[in-house]
Amino acid sequence: MKKILLILFIFFTIKILLFYNSLPKNLIDYQRINYYDINEILFFTEINDSSVKIVENENVSNYFINSLISIEDQKFYTHSGFDLARITKAFFSNINSGEIKEGASTITQQYVKNNFLTNEKTYSRKIKEIFLSILVEIKYSKEEILNSHLNTLYFGHGIYSIENASQYYFNKSAQNLTLSEANSLVVIQNAPSIYSPIIDKEANLKRTNDYLKRQNEAEVEEIKLDVVVPNRNLLYYLDELKKYLPELNKNSKKDIYTTLDYDLFNYINTEIITDKELQTAIYVVQPNTNRVLALFGGNNYDSQKFNLSTQSYRQPASTIKPLLYYYGLENNLQPYNTLMSKKTTFNVNGVSYTPSNYSSYVNDEITMTFALATSDNIYAVKTLLYLGINNFNSFLDNFEFNQESPHSPSLALGTNYMSLEELTLIYNGFASGDYSDPIFINRIYENDRLTFNSIKNIIVDLNDDFCIILSEMMKEMFSDLPTPINVTGKNINHLLTHKYAAKSGTTKYDAWMIGYSPYVTVGVWNGYPDNLEIGTINTKQLFAKIIEYYHRDIDSYEWFNNDLNTVDGNFVYGLNGDNNYKFIVK
């Protein structure tokens, strides 16, 4: 028996020592993650996977701190982690009632339970809570424990930390809380699902007055709320980032340097994203590095958590055409190759297929560049059939897209299914010369030690020459040359001050616009998740606003560098020799 007791003693002693040694130098750093943007500015902090706004004790109203200690733990500054008298009283009360009703937890115990343990109501968990509280009290000062508690308290409605709660309920900083507001928040944190004034204002007011009386303060007739619901669209980006996180030490402080352009995010979030039912998904990425600069999966994270930029697979429509013509360039087609654009019925394996054009047919021979700029469907289907549907599908397989493509001539018009992320990364590939995995994290430090550095993972190497030629072709959707049919970007030409390569696409249910410069690639999608028809919308204008905002401080830049020969030709853009100008060909 003595041996067994000795073994148990050694076992628990080792566990206690391991726990004690695993604690961070600063308690507030336990399970803390700081996120920095691409300019290394802190923009988000999490503790225990919850968003918090960390403040020092001196930046919290004394009304709140005094009330919290008075109500929750009057002996906070004198006990060693637990209050034996309260625990004894609670124990006998629970015995008499036949169930665990009272916990008698100190502030230290509450912090330990919320951050190290579970809410399970058992005596074994309570014993663990007491032991761990003693260890926390040994290692940290009372002010550190109080500060960590203040910054991790839960106030309901997904709100953690006293600063976030003050902003949410009263639209003010925690240091500016009035006596009644402070006591109202103390009430809320005690049982948010019962005492949140948003859920039950009367219950919160009654309990607040009870707390005020216990502190010999005057009662109040009303607590005026000024609820500010936080915009949580940033979580679209962070949710995706977390898919790429390596395994981290949960006890350590973690500083994650992300690829987010927080200034760009704020611009899009305030100027582009609306609260309309029509959803907007946006994906912005940097050429060559593949750093994701901004990402929106919908208009409102709280009502649309499903990420429409990465998880939704829709028909890309004509935005697939640059990929088709890139494959054509790889197979010796040229931007000046001409085909007849007129109403055509195709017979493929005994099945008739008659595609239509969004606008009218030219009823003449047109070049590949003209077909791309005007989004001619006949030229695209003819090109696909010439190259071979199976061959093009095999080419698409190299990119490891999530969805399989149909064996149909309609594939040339984008009847496959792709996400906005996949399409935007493809276009970014044309700007970079390779198709690669997205990068959300530049580097990670754990306890100030570098533990992760991003490495670009190339999936498909693209031909630089063909990417340059394709980019030249794609910029013609904004051409101001006279044509019998308008180029598809003509209606936003007046919004653009720089040169871009781009392509739009539209179905009854989707509107796409994706384009790039040597500096940035922007993808925009509009639609309804439940496939309602979209009508006429301004997706191209949204694209123009975003990409122009990104280039606002760039006066001019060199278009894609190349070693290709430049020749005079009349075969690239115009019809039958019209509109002569230079174009690069091999």
Q: Which residues are catalytic?
A: 72, 318
Alpha carbon distance 584, 571 (integer Å)? 11
Quote the tokens at residue 311. 């998880």
| Tally of CA atoms within 13 A in the half-sphere of 355 that contains its CB | 26
Among 395, 459, 453, residue whose Cα is nearest residue 429: 459
DSSP 53: -
Amino acid at 575: L
Per the CB < 8 A criterion, the answer to whether 290 and 459 are in contact is: no
**What does the alpha-carbon distance between residue 439 and residue 27 come to, in Å, rounded to a whole number?**
31
Cross-strand partners of 569: 581
Residue type, 340: M
Are 517 and 551 a contacting pair, CB within 8 Å? yes
Helices (H), 375-514: 377-387, 389-397, 420-432, 464-474
Please name the helix (run of DSSP H) or strand (run of DSSP E) that holds residue 582, with its range, or none.
strand 581-584
Q: How many CB atoms lie within 10 A of CB 555?
A: 8
Nearest to 477 by CA among 492, 498, 495, 464: 492
How many angstroms separate the CA atoms of 164 and 172, rounded? 9
Buried b (16+ CB within 10 A) or exposed e, 267-277: bbeeebbeeee
Q: Are 400 and 219 in contact (CB under 8 A)?
A: no
Is residue 384 within 8 A of residue 288, CB to CB? The reply is no
Phi/psi zone of residue 383: left (φ > 0), alpha (ψ -120 to 50 degrees), beta? alpha
Cα 101 → chain centroid = 41
Joined together, the tokens standing for residue 347 give 């017979």
Q: Which residues pair with 466 in a beta bridge?
A: none
Which residue, 168, 222, 102, is CA-closest to 185?
168
Tokens of 586: 């091999």
Pairing of strands 254-258, 279-285: unpaired
Alpha carbon distance 391, 95 (integer Å): 76
